[in-house]
Amino acid sequence: MSIDHTVIDAPASLPEPDAAMIEKLKTVAWFARRPRFWPHMAALTTQRLTGATRHEAQKEAAAAWAAARAVDIGRAFAALGIAEPTPRPLDPALIDDGERRAIRSGVRMGGPGDLDLIHRAILAIDASRVVETGVAYGWSSLAALAALRHTDGRLVSVDMPYPKMGNEAFVGIVVPDEWRTRWTLIREPDRNGIHRALAAFDGSVDLVHYDSDKTYTGRMYGYPLLWRALASGGLFISDDIQDNFGFRDFAARLGLNPAIVESGGKYVGLLRKP
Ligand SMILES: C[S@@+](CC[C@H](N)C(=O)[O-])C[C@H]1O[C@@H](n2cnc3c(N)ncnc32)[C@H](O)[C@@H]1O
């Protein structure tokens, strides 16, 4: 009998599949510690198993569809029958101040929505009950709260922090402390969080800003819930509609013509509830 004397060196780093598996296990452990996030995790798993992520292959076509329809904010409002006597853009000092806070936080999070659009929209329709999904640094929350100070309104936001990033403490960091009396932040995924946010307004809101789960399936979960709660004349705004055909299909299902605004290379979709 011969003995194999080959010495197998321990690998300096784990081969790729094992490293990926460890990351997956860490993600599972992250969700396992948060029971309120389990419905979101179940939905993610179903999406992977059923191949629902195929919708994301529509990105190029969805961007072309949005680009062909994009107009400026004023025209978008006019197309939706919103009269805006004097556009009131966001005070640039608020942005400077927020940027200082974001830099001091030392963490990296998702990019902002269209802040002027959010601010102008709330003032133009005199919205006082606003729900948003997706907070990250809180730029859209800042823009909404700046307007809600004039309409004496409130904002309820839903945000699930990025798994494993350790960003939790910094979500909404750009919002000044003294504005937080008008603000409720629900630190949960859309699944759960949207229901809680709408309940805070007894199920009826004036304006919605959607900027959280950008997958087709995620939109098809959140959009209808938010739309149903919108009061007549209320405004539905969704960020990043170029990612897939979720927004286009939702508008078609409602039989409504959306307005679309280009914003820093992305597209924002608007729908007004009849
Ligand atoms: C693009 S950022 C939001 C930016 C923010 N609206 C702004 O203008 O600063 C997206 C945020 O949504 C959160 N998010 C992603 N998927 C989510 C989900 N299913 N439920 C709740 N929040 C989610 C992300 O963790 C991130 O904080």
Which pLDDT tens digit goes with each residue over 109-134?
988 989 999 999 999 999 999 999 99
Q: How confident is the model at residue 79 (pLDDT cuts 50, 70, 90)?
A: very high
**Over 60: is that where the pLDDT of 200 sits?**
yes
Instruction: Report CA(133)–ligand 1 centroid distance (Å).
Output: 6
Stretch 28-46: mean pLDDT: 88
3-state SS assignment for residue 144: helix
Which residues have C-beta atoms less than 6 Å from ligand 1? 40, 109-113, 133-140, 158-162, 189-190, 193, 211-213, 218
Q: How confident is the model at residue 14 (pLDDT cuts 50, 70, 90)?
A: low
Q: How confident is the model at residue 162 (pLDDT cuts 50, 70, 90)?
A: confident
Atom number, ligand 1, closest to the C-alpha of residue 115: 8
Instruction: Convert 24-44 to b/e letters by CB count within 10 Å (16 or more is b).
Output: eeeeeebbeebeebeebbebb
For residues 259 and 10, which has the higher predicted lDDT (pLDDT)?
259
Instruction: Convert 146-172 to b/e letters by CB count within 10 Å (16 or more is b).
Output: bbbeebebbbbbbbbbbbeeebeebbb
Which residue(s) pair with 30 in the sheet?
Answer: none
Best mean pLDDT range from 4-18, 19-33, 164-178, 229-243: 229-243
pLDDT, tens digit (0-9, with 9 covering 90-100), for 41-59? 888 888 888 876 667 789 9
Closest CA to 210 of 161, 174, 158: 158
Stretch 70-86: mean pLDDT: 96
Which residue(s) pair with 266 in the sheet?
Answer: 263
Q: Give the predicted TM-score (pTM) of the model.
A: 0.90
**Over 50: is that where the pLDDT of 10 sits?**
no
Atom number, ligand 1, closest to the C-alpha of residue 138: 9
Best mutation site among 105, 211, 240 for ligand 1 pocket (most ligand atoms within 8 Å of CB): 211
Give the pLDDT score at 12. Answer: 55
3-state SS assignment for residue 185: strand
Give the pLDDT score at 270. Answer: 98
Best mutation site among 105, 156, 160 for ligand 1 pocket (most ligand atoms within 8 Å of CB): 160
- Other beta carbons within 10 angstroms of residue 229's beta carbon come to 22
Burial-class residue 221 by CB neighbours within 10 Å (0-12, 13-18, 19+).
Answer: middle
Tell me what the pLDDT averaged over the chain comes to.
91
Dist CA 183 CA 35 (whole Å): 24
Stretch 76-95: mean pLDDT: 93
Atom number, ligand 1, closest to the C-alpha of residue 137: 9
Closest CA to 192 of 169, 144, 225, 161: 225
